[in-house]
Structure 1
Amino acid sequence: MKYKKIVLAGGNGYLGNVLANYYKDRTEEVVILSRHEKQEEENIRTVTWDGKTRGKWTTELVNADMLVNLCGKNVNCRYTEKNKAEIFASRLQPTELLGEVIRDLFEPPKLWINITSATIYRHAEDRPQDEETGEIGTGFSVDVCNRWEAAFNKYETPKTRKVALRMGIVLGREDGVFPRLLNLVKLGMGGMQGNGEQYVSWVHEHDAARTTEWLLDHPYLEGVFNCTAPNPVKNAALMHIIRKAFGMPFGLPAPKWLLEMGSVVIGTESELILKSRWVLPKRLLDSGFEFEYGDAKGAVREILA
């Protein structure tokens, strides 16, 4: 066992499960802070909190090796005023609460990673966006990211190193985007979406987990990091890769007008598919991190294997 304790706030979703399974053999215990009770599994236990108020859960942070904050309502919904308010509150309240508690602890976590989003950068088809030269975009999803990172930086935590991890689209078997794209392919509807020219900045779930360990093991790394594979692909290319790996010879394309109609029907926003996210992990690569799944073909093959 390399570590004593890893804490995952809001860790009962897809990425939380990926991280819990990754760390269970590398740490003495994994603690998930969740609104819902859950039975202990192996060395993974759940502690209840409401994400709004202090309670017994604060003792779990004492001297933890790492806290990863994954709190936030899924943005895969219509941007109604009610949903917008919930998207903001579910990110800002827990993040500010964690910052306040960490500031006040005598022995706080050594590292606090806040999982934010690579969608903070502008729609980019002209050049890639990295931590140093990337340009912040505009619109609701960018406002969410900006206020989220501001909440993360609100409190000084001199004893706790902080990393804002701007996560790309995580690809894996169990949940997230990939099973939904695969379902389209199975139905013969796995063609390009929109004009297919928009970039997809993705990361294999195993590399997403490995990134957090790399940051934990390198105590001089802090600040903003992009967590995306070094080879983003265009939407049309990604859909072709999935079709080929699955053995589906064709896929009907979905033009922009159809996506906008369909997104209303299924209760989501077409921006999630049509925005071009061309993001590079410059700081991770500069620090010496090597991706196990650097290209989409290899990642998709592994997921389907």
Structure 2
Amino acid sequence: MTRVVVGGSTGFIGRHLLQKYRAEGREVITISRSDADLCWADQAGIDAAVDGAALVVGLAGKSVSCRYTAANRAEILRSRIDTTSALSTAISRSSAPPPLWINSSTATIYRHAEDRAMTESTGELGTGFSVEVAAAWERALMADALPATRRVALRTAIVLGDAGVMGPLRRLARLGLGGTQLDGRWPVSASRRTAGTAHLPGARGGRQRFSWIHVDDVLGIIDFLEQRPDIHGPVNACTPTPVDNRTFMAAVRRTVGARIGPPIPRWMLELGAMGIRTETELVLKSRWVLPATLIDAGYRFRRPDLGEALRASTLA
């Protein structure tokens, strides 16, 4: 069996997967809101695609790079739960269920960590909106009894490559705005506290941890998991070489040849986030995550060096 079903095929990782699988000669069936073989409303089509497939990969979900308004929060959650449930329903109805279903999750499920790294077995879950979404996403993955299908929740860190976060970061660095992103005090409304979207002051001096992975390793990990039937449950998809924000932003500046990059205080970050309609949590939360399951299983990272990964991202 070589058929692969990719849900969320038009996103950054999805596009790389399609290119890879088609180059390998595998049959690929795509699901997305548009520009795909199937749409998410076509449950009968999804059922037929999944039945007999070798692998199902779920990547769908509204981008979290937006303002956390009530409408956006609802769509972030709905887009993950509904698409995951559609795949689960299709697998439960299969006469030949796929042996492996890999579904996206996020390393943001862990708490803000400045004291130690989070692994699959020792990590502590955090609180707030982003964590609640991640936990609900994983519950949807595991909700149905699917005894013939192994399930993996891929807790992915920030993905580097030719799209995603790297485009805006390179542009900022070239403009002289690629300095350390500093946390600090900022007024938080009661409504944001209630919604769990408030970022309270954390690491000082740009010491918030930055766990990352290059898209080439995301693809490599998915291949690795196909060959390792003993691995299931949550898997941290990140390099074993996390850095802090100061180190990361300095590496970005070197990559684009930017000589200047003064530190950016919290108030500037907040105003900038409002302007480009995103949230400062994405750069100020300390994500310190290690891929213990992959390391123990013997996975060899393709791009574990940050400088090399950034150069590859720039040239891609």
Into which bin does the TM-score normalised by the smaller protein fall? over 0.9
1:258 aligns with 2:268: yes
Listed as ranges, the matches of 1:43-54 within 5 Å are: 46-50=36-40, 52=41, 54=43
Which one of the candidate residues 31, 34, 41 is aligned to 2:32?
34
Listed as ranges, the matches of 1:214-253 within 5 Å are: 214-253=224-263
CA distance in 1 between partners of 2:314 and 2:90 (Å): 42
* 1:24 counterpart residue number: 22
Which one of the candidate residues 170, 176, 180 is aligned to 1:192?
180
How far did 1:245 drift?
2.2
CA distance in 2 between partners of 1:28 and 1:270 (Å): 40
CA distance in 2 between partners of 1:138 and 1:53 (Å): 35
- Tell me if structure 1 keeps the 8 A contact 2:32–2:60: no
1:5 aligns with 2:3: yes
How far did 1:113 drift?
0.4
CA distance in 1 between partners of 2:257 and 2:26 (Å): 42
TM-score after normalising by structure 2? 0.90
How many residues are treated as equivalent by the alignment?
A: 293
1:178 aligns with 2:178: no
Unpaired runs of 5+ residues, structure 1, are 39-45
Q: Secondary structure at the match of 2:2?
A: strand
CA distance in 1 between partners of 2:92 and 2:304 (Å): 37
Name the CA shift for 1:155/1:53 in 2 (closer, same or farther; >3 Å).
farther
Q: Secondary structure at the match of 1:162?
A: strand
How far did 1:57 drift?
3.0
How far did 1:28 drift?
2.3
1:69 aligns with 2:55: no
CA distance in 1 between partners of 2:25 and 2:299 (Å): 21
CA distance in 1 between partners of 2:102 and 2:159 (Å): 17
Which one of the candidate residues 77, 80, 85 is aligned to 1:88?
77
- Tell me if structure 2 keeps the 8 A contact 1:200–1:233: yes
TM-score after normalising by structure 1? 0.93
How far did 1:200 drift?
1.0
CA distance in 1 between partners of 2:294 and 2:33 (Å): 33
* 2:12 counterpart residue number: 14
Which one of the candidate residues 84, 90, 104 is aligned to 2:93?
104
Q: Secondary structure at the match of 1:301?
A: helix
CA distance in 1 between partners of 2:252 and 2:314 (Å): 9
Match of 1:23, as an amino acid?
A: Y
Q: Could you say what the CA RMSD is over the residues aligned between the two structures, in angstroms? A: 1.3
Match of 1:262, as an amino acid?
A: G
Match of 1:304, as an amino acid?
A: T
1:282 aligns with 2:292: yes
Q: Deviations over 1:224-259 (max 9, x none)?
A: 100001101111101111111222112132111111
The ranges of structure 1 where at least 4 consecutive aligned residues each deviate by more than 4 angstroms after the TM superposition are: none
